[in-house]
């Protein structure tokens, strides 16, 4: 049986190599051992690559000695991408608050943070029912912010171009979803839609009861 199993496995492996074998270039990086599944160990090729990358990394570190001021914002944004809870969105909003204080004198950064804030508030109100493009826009605004903050020498015109671009996307998004982005419950000149819904529901259930009674009496009548 063991021989049979080995035969099939080796036949299968050969077939897989026939079908997909040409892709070995990239895959030579694999540190896999055939005998039994092993935890990953860096192959020589990969450790060489790592070594080669070291000076580059050091250079990057030199250019960016400090952590990005957007690091926490990015982290909570990615969490939002995964889970839309009050806690996660709250973290994102409090991070925006901190950044708004920090960048209060930079008009473009401040306005992008305001866009983020509006989006987060909208998402908080809608949670999983938020428009599927919501997070896409949050990511896009983040990219704009990241570009500006990563380039301290960027001119005001360049910053404005980025901010205006994001604002346009935001406006288009607002149009897509209607008035909901303001986060307000649907109201028409002081009329509470929820109250109307309740009345209609009550009326409907009364109507249903009456109809059932009528049908029953018709059956009895027969």
Partner 1 sequence: MALINPKKKEVQVKIVYYGPGRGGKTTNLEYINKKFKERIKGEMTTVKTYGDRTLFFDFLPVDIGKIKGYDIKVQFYTVPGQVKYNATRKLVLRGVDGIVFVADSLVVRRKMNILSLQNLNENLSSFNRRIFDVPIVLQYNKRDMEKEGIPLLSVETLENDLNKQLKAPSFVASALTGQNVVTTMKKAISLTVASLQKKLELGG
The residues of the shown chain that bind partner 1, judged by CB under 8 A, are: 1, 4-5, 7-9, 11-13, 15-17, 19-20, 23, 26-27, 29-32, 37-40, 42, 46, 53, 56-57, 60, 64, 74-75, 78-79, 81-84, 128, 131-133, 136
Q: Which residues pair with 52 in a beta bridge?
A: none
Tokens of 32: 């896999």
The residue (of 81 and 210) whose beta carbon lies closer to partner 1 is: 81
The residue (of 37 and 221) whose beta carbon lies closer to partner 1 is: 37
Give the Cα separation of 32 and 55 in Å (integer): 28
Could you tell me the smallest distance in angstroms from the CB atom of residue 204 to partner 1? 29
The residue (of 38 and 205) whose beta carbon lies closer to partner 1 is: 38
| Burial call 80-100: b when 16+ CB within 10 Å, e when fewer | beeebeeebbebbbebbeebe
CB-side exposure of 14: number of CA atoms within 13 Å?
Answer: 6
Residue written as tokens 């000076």? 55
- Closest C-alpha to 168, from 88, 111, 96: 111
Could you tell me the smallest distance in angstroms from the CB atom of residue 89 to partner 1? 13
Could you tell me the smallest distance in angstroms from the CB atom of residue 36 to partner 1? 9
The residue (of 53 and 200) whose beta carbon lies closer to partner 1 is: 53
Could you tell me the smallest distance in angstroms from the CB atom of residue 176 to partner 1? 11
Task: Residue 105: count other Cβ atoms within 10 Å of its Cβ.
Answer: 7
The residue (of 42 and 101) whose beta carbon lies closer to partner 1 is: 42
Could you tell me the smallest distance in angstroms from the CB atom of residue 116 to partner 1? 17
Q: CA 23: distance to chain centroid?
A: 32
């Amino acid at each position: 049986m063991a021989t049979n199993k080995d035969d099939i496995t080796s036949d299968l492996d050969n077939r897989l190599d026939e079908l997909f074998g040409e892709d070995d270039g990239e895959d030579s990086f694999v540190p896999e051992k055939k005998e039994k599944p092993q935890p990953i160990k860096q192959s020589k090729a990969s450790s060489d690559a790592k070594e080669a990358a070291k000076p580059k990394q050091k250079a990057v570190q030199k250019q960016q000695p400090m952590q990005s001021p957007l690091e926490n914002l990015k982290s909570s944004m990615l969490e939002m991408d995964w889970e839309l809870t009050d806690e996660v969105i709250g973290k994102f909003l409090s991070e925006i608050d901190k950044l708004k204080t920090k960048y209060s004198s930079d008009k473009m950064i401040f306005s992008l943070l305001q866009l983020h804030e509006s989006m987060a508030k909208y998402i908080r109100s809608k949670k999983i029912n938020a428009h599927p493009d919501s997070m896409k826009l949050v990511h896009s605004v983040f990219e704009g912010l990241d570009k500006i903050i990563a380039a301290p020498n960027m001119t005001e015109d360049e910053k404005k171009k980025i901010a205006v671009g994001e604002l346009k996307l935001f406006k288009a998004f607002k149009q897509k979803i209607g008035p909901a982005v303001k986060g307000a419950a649907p109201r028409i000149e002081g009329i509470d839609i929820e109250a109307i819904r309740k009345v209609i529901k009550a009326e409907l259930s009364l109507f249903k009861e009456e109809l059932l009674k009528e049908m029953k009496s018709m059956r009895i009548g027969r």
